[in-house]
Amino acid sequence: MRVPSRYKAALAAVCLTAAAAARAERVAGAALPDEARPVEANRYRVEKSYEETLKFYKAVYPPGRYPRKAIVNQPGVKAVHIVNPESKPGGWEGLNVYELNGETRVFVLVSPKEKKSRR
């Protein structure tokens, strides 16, 4: 049985995307692009363009499962919030991907850890 070449190409793309996602650095469980460098606590500068960074997150966190909300879209500023519907205490509850002054950055919003009750 011969497999059409378009399926081979799609399979190769899925494998490459999965491999890239597996290598990515993680913060509180959230994947970061390989080009991400820390700026402050939970804030990272990405050497890719804003569009390339959103493309990375579209592959890692599909929009159907991880909803997106536009935060702002003005001249010089673009921002999108990615929601983690499976957020756990101490894990990531959302990502803010934004471009400001030509720099792309990612801010990881971390859920507060549960406080142990004294009973």
pLDDT in tens, 50-95: 999 999 999 999 999 999 999 987 888 999 999 999 888 889 999 9
Domain ranges of the chain: 25-110
pTM of this structure: 0.73
CA 83 to CA 93: how far, in whole Å? 6
Pick the CATH number of 25-110 from 3.30.160, 3.30.390, 1.10.3470, 1.20.58: 3.30.160
Cβ-count burial of 75 within 10 angstroms (0-12 exposed, 13-18 middle, 19+ buried)?
exposed
In the prediction, which pLDDT does 20 show?
Answer: 45
In the prediction, which pLDDT does 21 show?
Answer: 44
Work out the average pLDDT over 31-51: 95
Task: Look over the chain and give the mean of its residue pLDDT values, rounded to a whole number.
Answer: 84
Could you tell me what percent of the chain has a pLDDT over 70? 76
